[in-house]
Amino acid sequence: MTDGPSYGFDTLQIHAGARPDPATGARQVPIYQTTAYVFRDADHAAALFNLQEVGYIYSRLTNPTVAALQERMATLEGGVGAVCCSSGHAAQIMALFPLMGPGKNIVASTRLYGGTITQFSQTIKRFGWSATFVDFDDLDAVKAAINDDTRAVFCESIANPGGYITDLDAISAISDAAGIPLIVDNTSATPYLCRPIEHGATLVVHSMTKYLTGNGTVTGGVVVDSGKFDWSANDKFPSLSAPEPAYHGLKFHETFGPLAFTFHGIAIGLRDLGMTLNPQAAHYTLMGIETLSLRMQKHVANAMEVASWLETQDAVEAVTYAGLPSSPYNDRVARICPNGAGGLFTVRLKGGYESCIKFVDALQIFSHVANLGDTRSLVIHSASTTHRQLTPEQQEAAGAGPSVVRISIGIEDPADLIADLNQALNAAK
């Protein structure tokens, strides 16, 4: 549904990538639970393996159910293509893989999910890559951190855990001036609240595990390609601009143009890294996306009501929700996230670490889990869990200090959520 009339988001979230099954007429996208696909003949097989023809070879690379999800995500984000993979963390490695090399670095925001900070500060060192973490509200610091070996700038549109909104327009101007891609993790916002490509992002990554699926059933990740970056403008990105030995000297950017990154992600990334999304998980995510806009509207409305109430409570020192007029990020909502500030924020309790633990343990409707973006309201004490591996300084920089609780607001009755929070605050005193 990318050609023809310009459809609205509510229509695209249901129909993009989904067509009646030609064999059976099935209206819902079938789960193609198969490993391999029969070739028409030897010439057809050769053409597929030479990337001369698009089709299905082996489900580590391509699968019709996953392909439907890739098309839907590319459409909703305004990209030219997408590559689905097994998790959000896999999506981050998949996004960096064609860009990086030994000795190369990325410039990343300090306000990131704790697991991402660990992945970038520790794990990628094993590849010979490195990351420099910078406060992305300090634009001069971002500029200063970029050097000749920088190959990407990375941030979250709505940062986890604090719900801070990044000024994507300002950051993309810096990455553009440096001639390097901007990668935006859009997990907390989803394309319903924010479309990073419209603000200059080159690549958009998601943990589809969260709001996109919306029901806490499967893990999944995706990299959406804007198709707007000139990979051949210089020699910084040889994986995309130079001859590829595994395909007889084929140059991905020269051959595939705007779809160079997408084809590389499948033909090299999934082929060699094997971070494959299984078709049943893709099916669950496709079904979840069908109600994305409806759920996000409710998440936002509930978050606004709950955050406003929390801000008035004596036991609460601060609430970070960007939708609140008191938030220093409130002026970015209309420009970056015009449909709302999301359903994620943190609460800083005056009683510190011990009060946070008592508060979390006392909640009844809120589920204490290491997840966000579920239809259910969720809570976690980041400093003792998701951000536990970080130093105290890193925890504070990420907005996940010891007196902070992360709250993911679901789509329940907001009065019930407030009542539960009230009794938990009383128990934590």
The share of the chain scoring above pLDDT 90, in percent, equals 90
Which tokens go with 356? Answer: 């946070």
Half-sphere exposure (Cβ direction) of 147: Cα atoms closer than 13 Å: 8
Q: 246-286, pLDDT tens digit by residue?
A: 999 999 999 999 999 999 999 999 999 999 999 999 999 99
- Residue 236 DSSP code: S
Q: Which amino acid is at 135?
A: D
Looking at the domain 292-428, which fold is it? Aspartate Aminotransferase, domain 1 (3.90.1150)
Q: Which residues pair with 378 in a beta bridge?
A: 367, 408
pLDDT exceeds cutoff 80 at 1: no
Average pLDDT over residues 79-86: 98
Average pLDDT over residues 123-136: 97
Q: 285-305, pLDDT tens digit by residue?
A: 999 999 999 999 999 999 999
The rounded mean pLDDT for the chain is 95
How many separate helices (H) and strands (E) can be counted in the chain?
Answer: 18, 12
Q: How many Cβ atoms sit within 10 Å of the Cβ of residue 47?
A: 16
pLDDT exceeds cutoff 60 at 4: no
Average pLDDT over residues 343-356: 94
Q: Which amino acid is at 107?
A: V
CATH 3.90.1150.10 domain position(s) in the chain: 292-428
pLDDT exceeds cutoff 60 at 2: no
This prediction's pTM: 0.95
Burial 193-203 (b: 16+ CB within 10 A, else e): bbbbbebbbbb
Average pLDDT over residues 65-69: 98
| pLDDT for 382 | 82
Identify the residue whose tokens are 């009065």: 415
Sheet holding 130-134, edge to edge: 81-85, 221-225, 203-207, 182-185, 150-156, 105-109, 130-134
| pLDDT for 51 | 93
Which tokens go with 293? Answer: 């806009």
| pLDDT for 399 | 78
Looking at the domain 10-99+181-288, which fold is it? Aspartate Aminotransferase; domain 2 (3.40.640)
Which helix (H) or strand (E) covers residue 132, if one does? strand 130-134
CA terminus-to-terminus distance, the chain: 54
CATH 3.40.640.10 domain position(s) in the chain: 10-99+181-288
Q: 28-50, pLDDT tens digit by residue?
A: 999 999 999 999 999 999 999 99
| pLDDT for 45 | 94
Q: How far apart are CA 105 and CA 146, in angstroms?
A: 9
